[in-house]
Amino acid sequence: MRPAAEDRSFDAVARIAFERLYERHFDRVAGYVLARTDRDDAGEALARTFEIAWRRRAEMPVDSLPWLLGVARRVLADSRRAERRRGALIERIEAHSRPLVETHEDAIGDRQAFLQALSELTPDQLEALLLTTWEGLSGKQAAAVLGCSRGAVAVRLHRARRRLRDVLEEPAAPAGQLPRMRSAKETT
Amino acid sequence: MTDDLDRLLLALRPRQAELVAEVFPPARRREILAGAMREQPIPAAPAPTRRGPRPRRRIALLLAPVLAAALAAVVLAGALTGSGAQQAAGAVVFHRTASGEVVAIVRDPFVAQRQLDLAFADRGYRIHVELMPVPPGLVGRVIYADQQSGGRIEPLLRGLCASGGGGDCRTVGVVISRSYKGAGTIALGRPARAGESYASAASAFATGERLHCSGLLGAPAGQAQARLRAQGIAVEWREDVQAGTSSSSTSPRSAPSGSYVWEGVMTAPGRVVLFVQPRPWPGDPAHGSLNDRGCR
């Protein structure tokens, strides 16, 4: 008929715990969102993400960052402009990333070629790759973000790396031209 | 090749920290947090479910003190100047204001539940008022509420003292709207007896709470433990542990060395949960803006 006393007892503790979680993970979640949308929409997406997190915090696992990133990912995907955003990810990387150091260029090719290689990946492959490299997540954590199995993440990573190697071994595209991104339907 | 790929990918990672700091300055961060937590201010428990086919409305007013205080002031004015005939109904005193609202004040916050229920039933209300032990700052406030549509019941908060003493005393009571016809439950905070655990809690450093202006916010954990022990307050510790991308909270048995107090919650009159971190309290209003307000 009414909530048990122990369930009601620590609403303040829950608030404080959430504020601390917010402080801990805000930068990571904000960085994730800003890498995938423009700054005007990032605030809205973040607000929605943490609103959902607060409402559903009972479902939040101890390892909360992947869960939060997963919420942010779904919030971005729900946006009507998600398709445009996804297509702009490579351009965003290009705009905001650091210049490549010379040794990397020597080893793998120039920056343009690598960006071109990234754009050849499917969205799922690219996301798995960036979650495990940029965000430093394990395969299990990346699976939690993507809402798939660890095996699926492993397959996507394997295919992504193989495709990157294949593309990088091909002659580079003319400077300034980035191939279109593949859709999720083309390859998994 | 794999290592080279990873290094190259990392080199392409946008300058996140600078961008995040630029786009989300502290004020914007606080705004987003406040907005997120504004929804469902009493969400720790699932919404109570009750029998009956009619839709019920759950209200949550814990974070609306300004509105509630304004309401209480209006009701008080009506009670004092209107046609309100005061009737004592055992455990509860009822006033009807000039505007037709009914103010019900609980005379004894430790009254038996059955007496409370009977008092409201005698007046024709199907209202279950439950009193729950809370820290001083939450006395008179709503802990949770569940009621049907068709009128409303609101907390009286303070401003009117059942004993007639006025001043700082906090009254436990509700305001029942003129049109209220349904059945409902409202749980209000009452003072806690010695040894009782609080059913709800606020920050121990908030205004009116036990550790407000105590100087312990930001103090080394060991120092806080010694001072609280001297005051007869038992401490339960919570410490953040960060391992890679994962973070969790541990419960050390004693004050963690090298840690500082960042937050606290009184869970009973002589018991507090202190949250500590291995870095000094930043003294930034963003970290608990209501804590130790007015102390410095």
Q: Tell me the pLDDT tens digit for each residue of A23-63.
A: 889 999 999 998 888 888 899 899 989 988 888 876 777 77
**Residue B296 confidence (pLDDT):** 64
CA dist., res. B211 & res. B193, Å (int) = 18
Mean pLDDT over B251-271 rounds to 86
Distances from the Cα of B101 to the Cαs of A53, B79, B128, B209, in angstroms? 38, 9, 18, 32
Q: Provide, rounded to the nearest whole percent, the portion of chain B with pLDDT above 70.
A: 66
Q: Are the beta carbons of A133 and B6 separated by less than 8 Å?
A: yes
Residue B197, CA distances (Å) to B36, B61, B140, B227 in order: 29, 22, 17, 22
Listed residues B170, B191, B212: the one ending a domain: B191
* Contact (CB<8Å) A27/B17: yes
Q: Does A183 touch chain B (CB under 8 A)?
A: no
Q: Which residues in chain A touch residue B39, judged by CB atoms under 8 angstroms apart?
A: 51, 54-55
* Structural domains of chain B, count: 3
Q: Is residue B200 part of a domain?
A: no
Considering the domain architecture, whether residues B56 and B104 belong to the same structural domain is answered as no
- Percent share of chain A, pLDDT over 70: 62
Low-confidence ranges of chain A (pLDDT < 70): 1-14, 58, 79-111, 167-188
- Are residues B102 and B186 located together in one domain of the fold? yes
**A10 token code pair:** 């620590």
Q: Is A66 on the interface with B (CB under 8 A)?
A: yes
Per-residue model confidence (pLDDT) at position B67:
35
Cβ within 8 Å, pair A11-B44: yes
B111 touches chain A (CB under 8 A): no
Q: For residues B164 and B227, state if they share a domain.
A: no
**Helical (H) or strand (E) element with A160:** helix A150-169
A12 and chain B in contact, CB less than 8 A: yes
- Residue A162 forms contact with B (CB below 8 Å): no
User: Touching check for A107 and chain B: CB below 8 Å?
Assistant: yes
User: Interhelix angle for B16-23 vs A11-34, to 10°?
Assistant: 120
Same domain as B229, residue B261: yes
Q: Do B4 and A104 touch (CB under 8 A)?
A: yes
Mutate to test the interface with A, among B2, B15, B31, B33 (most CBs of A within 10 A): B33
How far apart CA B272 and CA A173 sit, in angstroms, is 64
What pLDDT does residue B202 have? 72
In angstroms, the first-to-last Cα distance of chain B is: 59
B30: pLDDT confidence band, cut at 50, 70 and 90? confident
Range(s) of the domain holding residue B139? 97-191
Judged by a CB distance cut-off of 8 A, whether residue B198 touches chain A is: yes
Is there a single domain that holds both residue B130 and residue B187?
Answer: yes
Contact at 8 Å (CB) between B272 and A13? no
Residues B8 and B82 occupy one common structural domain:
yes
Q: What is the mean pLDDT of chain B?
A: 70
Closest-CA residue of chain B to A94: B12
The answer to the question of residue B197 being in a domain is no
B78 pLDDT above the threshold of 50: no
Domain match, B186 and B111 both: yes
Q: Which amino acid makes up residue B77?
A: A
CB contact under 8 Å between A62 and B244, yes or no, is no
- 0.80 exceeded by pTM: no
Give the closest residue to B186 by CA, choosing from B141, B124, B144: B144
B107 domain-assigned = yes
Strand order of the sheet with strand B246-250? B246-250, B234-243, B271-277, B260-268
